[in-house]
């Protein structure tokens, strides 16, 4: 009860941009900043690639079978995130927690697959300062961009696990709805960034 | 929110289309343009429906679009550096090939 009171006191429905809560506005502004970070990395990547004479063919070097599967996995985890919020909206905390767990699991598997992919590529000679196929910056940009995204997924998994606890601690489903929706914003953003990274770094 | 769960199917379909585009007998530029368009389409779907941007206020949409504008400007900021690198590489190549002529 006291927590519901605190909740409404912390987030009065006064913000004109996001009438549900200030937290949502905060997350959107954070994500806008984060998007500039990723935008900078991808713009720099594009410029280095465009001006390089011996940029390796990413499609041939990296292979896309595993990465395509990882992309599907991340999209699926976005779907389970939507489901978690939906169940919470329907007042079913138990199912919401199951779907939050599935989302976190999807993220954890994604990071594990990425670690597997990295170790294979490193074994084949792709290093952060050079590789057998051409421009050294190819490896540099690959590890920095996918690594930056992987860190976001790792952070998201921790965030999601914390949110399972958050939902557990609040008997009223409505008390955690807004916070879970904000978590969803972050998680879908990580999915959105991966769509871009997958296209620019693997497919093109 | 009830509409949100109907859209993920499109994302999966678009990803399959992306993979199919790579194997299509098209020009490199055409494939590139198609892939960029598909990626932007997917990103828009995620933002609009998963992140509920379609159901938020227009001003919040401006917050969301700002990074896109900055990223576009960034490309132009980087262009001079890019040209400089290309010129340097060309000069170096010229310097390497010239003595060989003598």
The per-residue pLDDT for A115 is 96
pLDDT at residue B35 in the model? 86
User: How many Cβ atoms sit within 10 Å of the Cβ of residue A40?
Assistant: 16
Quote the CA–CA distance of A129 and A87 in Å, as a whole number. Answer: 47
For chain B, list residues whose CB is within 8 angstroms of any CB belonging to chain A.
1, 4-5, 8, 11-12, 15, 18-19, 22, 32, 35-36, 38-39, 42-43, 46-47, 50-52, 56-57, 59-60, 63-64, 66-68, 70-71, 74-75, 78-79, 81-82, 85-86, 89
Residues of chain A with pLDDT under 70: 1-16
Whether the full predicted model's pTM is greater than 0.90, yes or no, is no
Q: B102 or B2: which carries more pLDDT confidence?
A: B102
Question: Nearest Cβ partner of B70 from A19, A39, A76?
Answer: A39
Cβ distance of A51 and B11 shorter than 8 Å: no
Q: What are phi and psi of A14, to 5 degrees?
A: -120, -20
Minimum distance, in Å, between the CA of residue A185 and any CA atom of chain B: 5
Say which residues have a Cβ less than 8 Å from residue A171's Cβ, sequence separation at least 6.
none
pLDDT at B2: 43
Residue A74 has a pLDDT of 92
Q: What is the pLDDT of residue A119?
A: 95
Structure tokens at B90: 């060309």
- Evaluate if residue B100 carries a pLDDT over 80: no
Mean pLDDT of chain B: 78
As a whole number, mean pLDDT of residues B37-54 equals: 86
Domains of chain A: 34-203 (1.20.120.80)
Give contacts of B89 with chain A, Cβ < 8 Å. Answer: 51, 53
**Cβ contact (<8 Å) for A81 and B50?**
yes
Could you tell me what percent of chain B has a pLDDT over 70?
84
- Residue B18 burial (10 A CB sphere; 0-12, 13-18, 19+): buried
Please indicate whether, in this complex, the C-beta atoms of B12 and A75 are within 8 angstroms of each other. Answer: yes
In this prediction, residue B20 carries a pLDDT of: 81
């Amino acid at each position: 009860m006291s927590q519901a009171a605190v909740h409404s006191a912390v987030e009065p429905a006064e913000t004109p941009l996001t009438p549900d809560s200030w937290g949502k506005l905060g997350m959107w502004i954070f994500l806008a900043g984060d998007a500039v970070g990723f935008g900078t990395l991808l713009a720099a990547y594009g410029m280095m690639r465009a001006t390089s004479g011996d940029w390796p063919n990413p499609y041939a070097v990296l292979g896309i079978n595993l990465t395509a599967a990882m992309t599907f996995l991340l999209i699926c985890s976005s779907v389970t995130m939507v489901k978690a919020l939906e169940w919470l909206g329907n007042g079913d905390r138990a199912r919401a927690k199951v779907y939050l767990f599935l989302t976190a699991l999807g993220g954890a598997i994604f990071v594990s697959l990425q670690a597997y992919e990295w170790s294979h590529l490193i074994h084949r000679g792709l290093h952060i300062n050079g590789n057998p196929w051409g421009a050294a910056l190819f490896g540099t940009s690959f590890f920095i961009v996918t690594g930056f995204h992987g860190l976001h997924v790792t952070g998201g998994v921790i965030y999601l696990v914390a949110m399972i606890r958050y939902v557990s601690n609040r008997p009223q489903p409505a008390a955690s709805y807004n916070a879970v929706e904000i978590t969803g914003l972050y998680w879908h953003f990580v999915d959105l960034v991966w769509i871009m990274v997958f296209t620019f770094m693997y497919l093109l | 929110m009830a509409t949100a769960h109907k859209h993920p199917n499109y994302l999966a379909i678009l990803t399959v289309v992306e993979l199919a585009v790579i194997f299509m007998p098209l020009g490199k530029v055409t494939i590139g343009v198609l892939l960029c368009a598909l990626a932007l389409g997917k990103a828009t779907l995620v933002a609009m429906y998963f992140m509920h941007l379609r159901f938020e206020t227009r001003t919040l949409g401006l917050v969301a679009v700002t990074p896109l504008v900055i990223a576009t400007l960034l490309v132009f900021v980087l262009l001079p550096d890019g040209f400089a690198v290309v010129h340097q590489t060309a000069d170096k190549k010229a310097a390497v090939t010239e003595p060989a002529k003598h």
